[in-house]
A and B are shown apart, each in its own frame.
Chain A
Amino acid sequence: MTTVASPMVLLDPTVKTQGALVSTAPRPRSLDGLVVALLDNSKRNADLILEATYRLLAERYALAGVIRYAKSTASKPFAPQVMDDVVRRAQVAVTAMGD
């Protein structure tokens, strides 16, 4: 027995990310006079990496201050209000994920 194949239209099941995921802010030439935010993703040792980084930055620049945030769980993003706070209060942010 022979069968005559007829064309079949298939539909693409995928969804792609639209546009760039992230874009970087302009890099400051110096950290003098700037407030640094330290963003701890709450995994083990992330706080140690951040504090060590902060100590080096504080030695090299005349920072205007530091603010610290830690996520409640490493598995979820920071709450939007935390990120708003970072934007409002700091000019530079350093994040770390430890383990």
Chain B
Amino acid sequence: MATLASQQYTVESPLEAIELCYRMGWTDGLPVVPPSQQRVLQFLEHAGREPSQPVLVEPVTGRIVTVEKAAINAVMAGCLPEHFPVVLAALEAMSDPDFNLHGATLNTGGSAVMAVVNGPIVQRIGMNSGVALFCPGNRANATIGRALHLVLWNCTGNRPDELDKTVMGHGGRYSMCIAEREEALPQGWQPFHVERGLPAGSSAVTVFTAAHPLQAGYHGSPDPKEILINVADTMTVLPPWNQELLMVVSPEILRHFDKARWSKADVGEFLFQEARRPGYAVRRAHKFRYSYHAQAAGDQDMLPVLDRPEALDIVAGGGEGGAFVLVVALYGNGIHSRSITREVQLKGTQEV
């Protein structure tokens, strides 16, 4: 049996266990599944990983999140053992220096960690990629996303009584995890993780620092241009030159793209050209804040929301009934933090 390093607490009943978690300040405000040693060992066994192995290092405080701590928090979030490899891959992705864990999770703006899952594991663990995509109801979506935030809460100081300085924040900080609806992708479009260089048929998770989402949509025309003009208009509340911006696109719109034979690159190019505001409006609204070439912008220049067409990440997802997109702005307009993709390692597959 694996040797565990965490301090132990003995309780007499499940209710006492839940209340102990509250008293110790271990919960996000909602009840947790008590992290019993027996349950944590099941998770470790399922993942086939050494409990002492680091999966996430907080770069400023030097705190190390081990596989064991990740498992304890995943249990508390309500995960099943088969969800745990996704949690581990997401935490490993969050360790990438380009994700900028410290700045991205400990700031005044209050971004959440949003996870997008791809590949066969989506079906295997029953994730939701469809109707009510960002809503409650699916255990895998809800608990994987919650596990990531409980790790931040309990391990890296992302809580108001430690290092969190968020002024407002949003509900995604409880949980913000979806699966890509790969079957809705137009002909010739690749799943998100495959675009990132992973093999087709692999499973992966991508983490984003989701500042806030903006919904847009137009049901009145099948013409991609008409739909995207509406989207572009919504996007223009954002500062110019986003280095990265995520857009989750519903199946109805994807069908219109498919019929019109639009590629992902076509969508990025159109929004790059269309989503623009004049320099004077951006300057007047003080939205140059994070923009690295603000000095050169003339008042009459039309400044693009996207730094370049490729700055747009497109993920398929959502319910059937409606031509909607969700535009998700990233922390610091994609300048301070970049999304990171990691393959989900399943037990026994590391050697293959």
Chain A contact residues, CB within 8 Å of chain B: 5, 7-18, 21, 44, 73, 75-77
Contacts and interface: CB of A to CB of B under 8 A. Distances in A.
Given A9-B8, A14-B26, 17 more contacts: A9-B9, A9-B36, A10-B17, A10-B20, A10-B37, A11-B4, A11-B35, A11-B72, A13-B150, A14-B154, A17-B62, A18-B62, A73-B332, A73-B335, A75-B332, A75-B336, A77-B59
Contacts of A13: 6, 26, 35, 69, 72-73, 76, 150, 154-155
Interface in B2-32: 4, 6-14, 17, 20-21, 24, 26
A38 to B, nearest CB: 21
Contact of B336 (A8, A12, A21, A76): A76
18 contacts: A7-B12, A9-B36, A9-B37, A10-B34, A11-B9, A11-B36, A11-B72, A12-B9, A13-B26, A13-B73, A15-B156, A17-B63, A18-B62, A73-B335, A75-B100, A75-B332, A75-B336, A76-B102
Prevailing SS type, chain B contact patch = mixed
Chain A binding surface SS class: loop
Nearest to B331: A75
A18 B37 CA distance: 24
Contacts, number: 96
Contacts of A14: 26, 69, 154-155
Interface in B63-114: 63-65, 68-69, 72-73, 76, 100, 102-104, 107
Interface residues of B, number: 49
